Amino acid sequence: MRRERALDELADTEVEHEDEPGTLYYVRYRAKDGGDGVVVATTRPETIFADVAIAVHPDDERYKPLIGKLVERPLSPHAIPVIADAAVERAFGTGALKITPGHDQADAEIGERHGLAAISVIGPDGRMIDAVEAEFVGLDRFDARKLAVETLRTRGVLVKEEPYTVSVGRCYRCETIVEPLLSLQWFVKIKPLAEPALIASKTGKLRFVPARYQRTYEDWLEHIRDWCISRQIWWGHRLPVWYCANGHVIVAESTPDACAECGNRELTQDPDTLDTWFSSGLWPFSILGWPQDSIELRAWYPNQVLVTAREIIFNWVARMVMFGIHFAGAIPFAKVHITPLILDEEGRKMSKSLGNSLDPMELVRDYGADATRFGIVSQMRGGQDVRFSVAKCDDARKFCNKLWQAVRFAVDLGLPEPPALDLDPKSVYLPLPDETSWTLPDRWIMDALARTIARVTSGLDDFEFGDVAQTLYSFVWNEVCDVYIEIAKDKAPTRAPILRHVLGTALQLLHPIMPFVTDELWSRLGQTMLIEQSYWPSPGAGWLDDAARADMERLLEFIEAVRALRALPKLPYREMRDVTVVGADPPLVALLEAQAGVVARLARAERVHVPSGSDGRPAHSVSRRLGRIEVLLPVDAAFIEKERAALDKEIEQADAEADAIERKLATNFADKAPPAVVAKERARLEELRTALELSKERRADLK
């Protein structure tokens, strides 16, 4: 393949094909003996000058009588044979295929099987050369196509034209349309290199993440072709090839003094360079001093992980694996992580033409580098392409602020005295109080921390970066800030050291995604070494605590019920008040009594009252059922009556509107009305049903 803009060769894998609208031209090739001949469908009439045969499928009954006969080329008349080849697709066009080995790779393979010559009529610059009729010489190939169509029409051999989607090959770098041309180039016999690289994948030594790209890699190696490595570019490794004045070819590792065959000293090095991907394929070991057995090579080869894009699995990843095995004796990495593509919110690729590209520097200016990175990472899911939302960067910015406030609170609680001597520079000084002194909230947050460490570590190992980000976001915001810091305001002796330890560990876990903020906050927690120098955290032996987690979940469920009651619309009592618990759940009652301070702080309740009988039940209240108990907040009778009346009216109106819509949809309205109108009515009905359910629940809460 050659790209005319740059006038250099491309390998097959460097050509990207895209479907574009085109035209299929039906052209008659008259029989040499004067018969009708055969009609051929082609998208490239300008290459008719280079046709050397017409091919049909050997089992196609329509053309069996023509096999072996001669037909006339309609441009630059010349007799060419009709041949039979099983590669012909009978369903395409008329089932007869023009064979142009000089300008089509598939045709070249057919031509090689049948011993046909290859003719070139397009030059390296994309213009027609002198192997065509005079009026075509020097025309650009696309202008030549227009003239060819007019000439065929004038000569009465253009049967018809029809729209057709054409697969157009373009250079993966500059998007120039490439042209298959005949030229003398250097190739690497690639199958001997590909087989060990394929075995490495099939035996599990090389693993792709996501796993679907394993098949992509293997498919390519199973169908690999010899690799054209000549490039007509200025920059790169020169081909190690010389030519002597007598025409001999010398391939050598170093510059030869004379031709090995004839002794001639007039040597000229081939002007071409190696394909850039050939040079890049050597990168994993060449940068470490190879071919010398350097200290760096022994220390850092092979590596563990390559992070790259799916577009260069063939061009780069496979070449590195092949060369690594062949030259260095081992695959260069054990895992290949293929990153997702960042799309816009509508799922489109970002491009200048669509005007949907985002400037990363603007995002960094608006939200900060850490928030931008966290916002992107948090949207990753299972290797799927990311529909990027800027709102996620704003969420991440707020998360950074939340983290900052949490550390500031921990610092206000006090920092420990630094150790007198620290023999291990990587050790973290975040001492914990003795576990026997831990309260229920302490045990709960340490259990949550242990589970977070395990999930984050596993997520990083499995490249589930989105899950890692969401896990840390949820842990810091929902468990540390919303619960434990609120509890820590009681300034119990264990709170400060445990909060410092929890936040310090969270900063370590967050550091790969948010390096700048975590580095700064780490130092504010009194740590002297850089956070990236510290050991990766691991949970303590006794941190996992199922009982503490279960008890705190029950407490938080109770607190959420109280908060939900306080959030009821129109409820006038926002200040802290008594909460009454009615029902038979002795374990929960005992838990509430034991953790009265926690409940009071989180539920903003002055007192949790558990009456022994019905006497302690408020005369009027709003309530919520929670398992075997009922949670009640006292309100006055006037509020109850007013709220019941308002809810009864809401329920009556919603019921009436819902009934009317249901009756309408039960008629032929759904068949006759526009789909958009019907959909709107159905959506409104669903909205009313949801509102009814909520209103009835709220009414039931009024006692």
pLDDT at 160: 94
> pLDDT tens across 55-75, in order?
999 999 999 999 999 999 999
pLDDT at 180: 75
Percent residues over pLDDT 70 in the chain: 89
Give the whole-angstrom CA distance, residue 644 versus residue 166: 70
| Sign for the pseudo-dihedral over CA of 438, 441, 447, 450 | negative
Question: What average pLDDT does range 609-616 have in this prediction?
Answer: 68
> pLDDT tens across 481-499, in order?
999 999 999 999 999 999 9
Q: Is the pLDDT of residue 352 over 80?
A: no
DSSP string, 8-37: EE--GGGEEEEEEEEEEEEEEE-BTTSS--
User: Burial level of 200, CB count in 10 A (0-12/13-18/19+)?
Assistant: buried
Tokens of 317: 């990843």
Question: What average pLDDT does range 535-543 have in this prediction?
Answer: 92
Which band of pLDDT confidence, cut at 50, 70 and 90, is reported for residue 701?
low
Task: Check for a shared fold between 2-179 and 548-635.
Answer: no
Q: Is the pLDDT of residue 580 over 90?
A: no
Distant-in-sequence, close-in-space partners of 571: CB < 8 Å, separation ≥ 6:
565, 622, 633, 635, 639
pLDDT at 671: 77
Tokens of 283: 């990168």
Are the C-beta atoms of 53 and 83 separated by less than 8 Å?
yes
DSSP string, 174-228: T-PBEE-------EE--HHHHHHHHHHHHTTSSEEESTHHHHHHHHHHHT---EE
Give the bridge partners for 443, in sequence order. Answer: none
Give the whole-angstrom CA distance, residue 597 versus residue 603: 10
> pLDDT tens across 202-219, in order?
999 999 999 999 999 999
| Sign for the pseudo-dihedral over CA of 150, 151, 156, 160 | negative
Q: Report domain extents, the chain.
A: 2-179, 187-229+275-338, 370-544, 548-635, 639-700
Spell out a b/e string for 381-415, using b for 16 or more CB atoms within 10 Å of the CB, else e.
Answer: eebeebebeeebbebbbebbebbeebbebbbeeee
Using alpha carbons, select from 382, 370, 366, 375 the residue that is nearest to residue 345: 375
Tokens of 84: 């039979």
Give the DSSP H/E element, type plus range, for residue 655: helix 637-666
Q: Is the pLDDT of residue 670 over 80?
A: no
Average pLDDT for the chain: 87
Sheet containing 38-42: give its strands across.
38-42, 15-29, 158-171
Architecture of domain 370-544: Orthogonal Bundle (1.10)
Q: Is the pLDDT of residue 3 over 50?
A: no
Q: Is the pLDDT of residue 122 over 60?
A: yes
Give the whole-angstrom CA distance, residue 581 versus residue 565: 13
Give the whole-angstrom CA distance, residue 122 versus residue 143: 12
pLDDT at 698: 63
Centre a 10 Å sphere on the Cβ of residue 140 and count the other Cβ atoms it contains: 15
CATH class for the domain made up of 2-179: alpha beta
* Of the candidate ranges 336-345, 533-542, 582-591, the one whose mean pLDDT is the lowest: 582-591
Q: Is the pLDDT of residue 640 over 80?
A: no
pLDDT at 345: 86
Q: Is the pLDDT of residue 261 over 70?
A: yes
Tokens of 662: 């249901």
Q: Is the pLDDT of residue 8 over 50?
A: no
Q: Is the pLDDT of residue 462 over 80?
A: yes
CATH class for the domain made up of 548-635: alpha beta
pLDDT at 631: 80
Q: Is the pLDDT of residue 167 over 80?
A: no
Q: Is the pLDDT of residue 696 over 80?
A: no
Which band of pLDDT confidence, cut at 50, 70 and 90, is reported for residue 702?
low
User: Burial level of 234, CB count in 10 A (0-12/13-18/19+)?
Assistant: exposed
* Of the candidate ranges 196-205, 398-407, 427-436, 512-521, the one whose mean pLDDT is the lowest: 427-436
Pick the CATH number of 639-700 from 3.40.50, 1.10.1760, 3.30.70, 1.10.287: 1.10.287
Question: What average pLDDT does range 542-565 have in this prediction?
Answer: 92
pLDDT at 173: 61
> pLDDT tens across 392-411, in order?
999 999 999 999 999 999 99
Amino acid at 115: G
Which band of pLDDT confidence, cut at 50, 70 and 90, is reported for residue 419?
low
Q: Is the pLDDT of residue 156 over 70?
A: yes
Which band of pLDDT confidence, cut at 50, 70 and 90, is reported for residue 198?
very high
pLDDT at 14: 60
Q: Is the pLDDT of residue 142 over 50?
A: yes
Question: What average pLDDT does range 622-638 have in this prediction?
Answer: 74
pLDDT at 61: 92
Q: Is the pLDDT of residue 179 over 90?
A: no
Q: Is the pLDDT of residue 9 over 80?
A: no
Out of 158-172, 313-327, 685-699, give the one with best mean pLDDT: 313-327
Higher pLDDT among residues 361 and 183, named by residue? 361
Give the DSSP H/E element, type plus range, for residue 250: strand 249-251
Are the C-beta atoms of 500 and 410 separated by less than 8 Å?
yes
Using alpha carbons, select from 182, 176, 183, 228 the residue that is nearest to residue 50: 182
Give the whole-angstrom CA distance, residue 258 versus residue 264: 5
Question: What average pLDDT does range 376-393 have in this prediction?
Answer: 91
pLDDT at 1: 40
pLDDT at 4: 39
Give the whole-angstrom CA distance, residue 189 versus residue 140: 34
pLDDT at 5: 37
User: Burial level of 117, CB count in 10 A (0-12/13-18/19+)?
Assistant: exposed
Higher pLDDT among residues 544 and 427, named by residue? 544
Question: What average pLDDT does range 138-146 have in this prediction?
Answer: 92
Higher pLDDT among residues 655 and 461, named by residue? 461
Q: Is the pLDDT of residue 166 over 80?
A: no
